[in-house]
Amino acid sequence: MPDSFRTVPGPRVVLIGPPGSGKSTVAAALAERWQLGARDTDADVETVAGKSIAEIFVEDGEPAFRALEREAVGRALVEHDGVLALGGGAVLDPQTDEALTQYVGYGGVVVFLDVSLAHAAPRVGFNQSRPLLLGNPRSQWQALMDARRPVYERLATLSVVTDDRRPAEVAEIIELELAAARRAAATDGHGA
């Protein structure tokens, strides 16, 4: 994606969605296509905290994790100019919601990577590194998705279903959809 398409400060694209939707792997694939950097706010949180997200949840609690996550998202929206993947629950924070809304208002692109439980399950593995999915992981995932879906859909400027698609395919779909949107905007802008 040439720099001439760059219209907004911050990331070229922000990826949101539930656990198992492929945010990190699609971010890497899209960044590779565009020869940009990929950044994942979950990795940023782990770096700052010096421990895994699971350890943060157990040792410090979810509120501490959410505070670190909010700070990581805020920094990344300002500092990063590549492809940004957010943690699944990041969008629930009111400050993050507001920051993403402003980013979109300035022309930023937020892509909701949608996935069904059947396809998320093998990707996530419902293991101990997913603290919010402990207990009955499938039921917990579905409850999280039911609660978060309206937020994902409201914030997204583009939605892509990742079921039965490799990360490279999803990246290509995103690129094609964005190119089509740019062409449509250019046509509308010239009164055609």
Q: Residues 92-150: pLDDT tens digits?
A: 999 999 999 999 999 999 999 998 776 666 556 555 444 544 555 667 777 888 889 99
Structure confidence at residue 68 (pLDDT):
96
Structure confidence at residue 19 (pLDDT):
82
- Pair 111, 16: CB distance under 8 Å: yes
Structure confidence at residue 187 (pLDDT):
82
| Six token digits for residue 171 | 């990246």
* Any domain includes 117: yes
DSSP run (H or E) holding 138: helix 137-155
The CATH code of the domain that includes 137 is: 3.40.50.300
Instruction: Tell how many helices (H) and how many strands (E) occur in the chain.
Output: 8, 5
* Any domain includes 60: yes
The DSSP code for 12 is S
Whole-structure pTM value: 0.86
Structure confidence at residue 8 (pLDDT):
65
Structure confidence at residue 9 (pLDDT):
76
Range of the domain at 70: 8-189
**Residue 29's pLDDT band (cuts 50, 70, 90):** very high
pLDDT over threshold 90, residue 64: yes
* Any domain includes 1: no
User: With pLDDT > 90 as the criterion, what percentage of the chain qualifies?
Assistant: 61
Rounded to the nearest 10 degrees, how much is the dihedral formed by the CA atoms of 161, 34, 24, 46? -150
pLDDT over threshold 80, residue 77: yes
Render pLDDT for 151-169 as a digit per residue (tens, 0 to 9). Answer: 999 999 999 999 889 999 9
* Any domain includes 45: yes
Q: Provide the strand spans (E) within the chain.
A: 13-16, 38-40, 83-85, 110-114, 158-161
Structure confidence at residue 158 (pLDDT):
95
Q: For residues 33-47, give the mean pLDDT.
A: 96
As for how many domains the chain has, the answer is 1
The DSSP code for 90 is G
* Any domain includes 3: no
